[in-house]
Amino acid sequence: MKKPTVRAGRIAVAAATPVAVLVAGALVWQSSYAAFSGTTRNSGNDWATGAVSLTDDDAGTARFQVPAMVPMQSDTKCIKVTANASGPGTVKGYAVNPVTSPQGLEKYVEVEVTSGTGGGFGSCTGYVSENPVIPAGTSLELLAGFDDYASGAGGWVVGAGTSSRTYQITWTFDTTGLNQAQVDQLQGAHTGIDFQRELQSN
């Protein structure tokens, strides 16, 4: 059998080269155009947190300052609270910073709180009660146990935007049932508590 000559080999290589180029080109064309495609985009996605704020009209002063309280004394005052929220939320009130006395005065100072419309820090004139918040006869000692938002009272549900509610607070130094000696033991006693209201988004 004859071996291919060098010339015949060169001719075969020269003939195969254009075929290889054509096949490679066909493969590239097929891979580039073998499928249809389409795209769509939902643009502008963005996330931001909302905001809530709660203010009152007390101008940073205490609602009650009673330096020389006497048995069965009582007083009533109001405070207006304004909520501003980007979405719905709930306002609750609770006690912070309770001050106890050796004589147990906190057992005999009782409060009642209602909420409604009208009136404000300067005066309860025009106040209209709508909802009970803290029932009459609740002592400061008992109130001190409601010391966080979860256990708080009120449940004022607010919507997005600005809204206001007035709270009327009545306190009484109730010595009913105490004898004179027991009343006398309460002389010179001191107690106190802060009423805090908090708005949380729903």
Identify the CA nearest to 128 among candidates 136, 138, 119, 137: 119
Q: Given this model, what pLDDT does residue 40 score?
A: 64
- List pLDDT tens digits, range 106-127: 999 999 999 999 999 978 999 9
Tell me the whole-structure pTM to 2 decimals: 0.76
* Type of residue at 96: V
Mean pLDDT to the nearest integer, 11-39 = 51
Q: What is the mean pLDDT of the chain?
A: 82
Q: What is the secondary structure of 43-58 as a DSSP string?
A: ---------EEEEESS
How many helices and strands, by DSSP H and E, does the chain display?
A: 3, 8
52 or 64, greater pLDDT? 64
171 has a pLDDT exceeding 50: yes
**DSSP assignment letter at 60:** T
Burial class (CB in 10 A: 0-12, 13-18, 19+), 54: middle
Chain-centroid distance, C-alpha 16: 79
Mean pLDDT to the nearest integer, 157-179 = 94
Q: Given this model, what pLDDT does residue 170 score?
A: 93
Domains in the chain (CATH in brackets) are 52-201 (2.60.40)
